[in-house]
Amino acid sequence: MGNEMYDVLIIGSGPAGMGAAIYAVRAGLKAAVLDRSPVSGGQVLSTYEVDNYLGFPGISGGDLSEAFRQHADVLGVQFFTADVQGVEDCSGEQTRYIIHTDKVDFQTRTIIIATGASHSLLGAPGERELAGMGVSYCATCDGAFYRKSTVAVVGGGDVAVEDAVFLAGICEKVYLIHRRNQLRAAESLQRKLLSLENVEIIWDSEVEEILGSEMVEGIRIHNKKNSGKDTLDVEGVFIAVGIVPDTSLLNDLVEMDEKGYIIADESCATSRKGIFAAGDIRKKPMRQIITAVADGANAVHSVQDFLNH
Ligand code: NAP
């Protein structure tokens, strides 16, 4: 373990972590960002177009992440590529945490958890077996393999609709399979989707099984309203049925809700002194890039308050 004691260590380099990092450095705190990936960005990296981040209309997720990183580099933010395996509370009179990673251990007075969330599984038969062989969770990463083919997207949120719009520009035909008759995605995304001739929305339907022996060959769907069943021939299935928080490294250190999101208010303070939660990992009503960045700033403000008292 290094001898250095950090004021704050930020775990995760998505928008929340990067927002926290620039505020921490500008506040003169001894700070660093830990991320298992050398490429910062988190979920934003797999977004092909971001249309609601102030000042950057229509920017790609990759470019926005790169802009965040450049900003952090200009300000001298320190980054470590390390996989965090656990957090140990060694507090005495003062808070002191040890962050265990696959490389070295770090000591810090406070922590900002900004580990975000990762994609949920659909849970349909065939999903695990055909993962990477036609089943994908990232349209921007894998979409190019399906040029001129027919694919299905499952889900009705922002990600599903963004993915369907993106894939419509590459594929011959895109089915969007949604379990209800109303999309959850932002109105502007829905309008874009509805304007596309090669997208067919299949309402009130669930995927019963993903079919194929070595590669995806189709999906069997079930209409919940009329109990009808159908088989669609598709070469790819893009699953966008929500996210699950990445809190495994915390064990029971902080209070979480029943879904595993960390309970913390706008101040980002968790139930444990010196640990703050920012971005998608936090229980909150709106998970957007802009709210994640704001959390990062708020969390640093709270860290400063905490260290000064
Ligand atoms: P989401 O908003 O939770 O939507 C998940 C969708 O999947 C919902 O339509 C849901 O259906 C459906 N679903 C869930 N479980 C299912 C199952 N087992 N079978 C079939 N369908 C299922 O998730 P998301 O689209 O991944 O977005 C995650 C968060 O990131 C959201 O808060 C979103 O607003 C945010 N986001 C922000 C931006 C941005 O800031 N630009 C971009 C993308 C995403 P129901 O509608 O019936 O529940």
Residue type, 243: I
For ligand 1, is residue 240 a contact (CB within 6 Å)? yes
141 counts as catalytic: yes
102 counts as catalytic: no
Which residue's CA is the closest to the ligand 1 atom numbered 30? 287
Ligand 1 binding pocket mutation candidate from 49, 138, 140, 184 (most atoms within 8 A of CB): 184
Averages of pLDDT over runs of 10 residues in the chain (309 residues) are: 89 98 98 96 89 94 96 98 96 97 97 95 97 94 95 97 97 98 97 97 98 97 96 98 92 94 97 98 95 98 97
Could you give the residue ranges of the DSSP H alpha helices within the chain? 15-26, 61-74, 139-142, 158-168, 187-194, 289-308
Q: Which residues belong to CATH 3.50.50.60 in the chain?
A: 5-118+243-307, 121-239
pLDDT attached to residue 63: 96
Whole-model pTM: value is 0.90
CATH 3.40.50.2300 describes domain 121-239: no
Residue type, 149: S
Rounded CA-CA distance 244/265 in Å is 19
Collapse the DSSP code of 8 into the 3-class scheme (helix H, G, I; strand E, B; otherwise coil) and give the result: strand
Collapse the DSSP code of 233 into the 3-class scheme (helix H, G, I; strand E, B; otherwise coil) and give the result: strand
Q: What is the CATH number of domain 5-118+243-307?
A: 3.50.50.60
H helices then E strands: how many in the chain? Answer: 6, 17
pLDDT attached to residue 130: 96
Q: From the candidates 73, 83, 102, 141, which is the catalytic residue?
A: 141
Give me ligand 1 centre to Cα 79, in Å.
Answer: 30
For ligand 1, is residue 284 a contact (CB within 6 Å)? no
Give me ligand 1 centre to Cα 185, in Å.
Answer: 7
For ligand 1, is residue 174 a contact (CB within 6 Å)? no
Residues 289 and 44 sit within 8 Å (Cβ to Cβ): yes
Residue burial 161-187, b: 16+ Cβ < 10 Å; e: rest? bbbbbbbbebbebbbbbbeeeebebbe
| Torsion over CA: 251, 256, 260, 265 (sign) | negative
Backbone phi and psi for residue 153, each to the nearest 5 degrees, phi listed first: -115, 135
Of 221, 247, 244, nearest in space to 233 by CA: 221
